[in-house]
Amino acid sequence: AQSVTQLDSQVPVFEEAPVELRCNYSSSVSVYLFWYVQYPNQGLQLLLKYLSGSTLVESINGFEAEFNKSQTSFHLRKPSVHISDTAEYFCAVLSNTGRRALTFGSGTRLQVQP
């Protein structure tokens, strides 16, 4: 079985500052890793994913995440945040065997202040 830990439940940050949202996972098999974003009163949307290949993956709106197998981490970063990035961010893992369904972390609420 796999699990996901997001250590920070809330991250307040000022506009144009850098941010890192932390995600660690545990699994006995190879996994795929994901970040989803949820804006207020909406469903979740895929932000970025790591399946294989380059360990650094990027989204179209400036976020990036790096897969670190030795540390079992997949932290999400952005060098300069905007007010519009205020949302809840969920890290998720999918093992390539067994149950074919995502396991989500508890979420991190990013609050960008002017």
> Taking Cα atoms as reference points, which of 1, 3, 2, 11 lies closest to residue 76?
11
Nearest distance from C-beta of residue 3 to other proteins, angstroms? 11
Q: Which of residues 50-89 bind other proteins (CB under 8 A)?
A: 51
Among left, alpha and beta (phi > 0; psi -120 to 50; other), residue 41 is left
**Of positions 45, 55, 61, 80, contacts other proteins by CB under 8 A:** 45
> Taking Cα atoms as reference points, which of 28, 25, 19, 11 lies closest to residue 76?
19
Q: Cβ closer to other proteins: 45 or 68?
A: 45
**Of positions 2, 8, 15, 32, contacts other proteins by CB under 8 A:** 32
Nearest distance from C-beta of residue 11 to other proteins, angstroms? 15
Q: What is the DSSP letter of 83?
A: G
Question: What is the C-alpha separation between 93 and 66, in angstroms, rounded?
Answer: 14
**Of positions 19, 94, 110, 112, contacts other proteins by CB under 8 A:** 94
By the rule CB under 8 A, 92 interacts with other proteins: yes
